Amino acid sequence: MSIIIVLTIIALVWHGTSAVARLAVDAIATGIGLVLFARAAHVRRRIVAMRQGRGALDSDRRPSRAERRLMAVGLNLAIRQTELRSLFPQAGLRCERLLGLAGSSL
């Protein structure tokens, strides 16, 4: 009888630690995602603000150095967001919901 109790306790502890580990990984992924999504939104707002200052988008005009740098940073953040969404889809959705980006056009 005592072996059954010990095995039951071991099984409960094993499942408990794996659940805690999954929750910890999910919390870390959500934290990283919040930083990525907030930075990406900030970069998008800065790009739009730069474009509004210079008028409409002109396909013949070459982007300035600051615009090219912002576009490179935005591309890097988009790639990192894609990686996060592919590895942790629920964390990506949670980040969008927490930051209020779902349904946003920017």
> For 9-26, what is each residue's pLDDT tens digit?
899 999 899 899 999 999
Name the token pair of 103: 């349904």
- Domain-embedded: residue 106: no
Pick the residue with more confidence: 104 or 9? Answer: 9
Range of the domain at 29: 2-99
**Is residue 62 exposed (0-12), middle (13-18) or buried (19+ Cβ within 10 Å)?**
exposed
Q: How many domains does the chain have?
A: 1
- Domain-embedded: residue 79: yes
* Mean pLDDT value across the chain: 86
Query: What confidence score (pLDDT) does residue 106 get?
Result: 47
pTM beyond 0.85: no
Rounded average pLDDT over 34-63: 81
Q: Above pLDDT 70, what percent of the chain?
A: 86
Distance CA 70, CA 93 (A): 25
- Domain-embedded: residue 31: yes
- Domain-embedded: residue 84: yes
**If we measure between CA atoms, which residue out of 16, 42, 83 comes closest to residue 91?**
83
- Domain-embedded: residue 89: yes
Pick the residue with more confidence: 66 or 59? Answer: 66
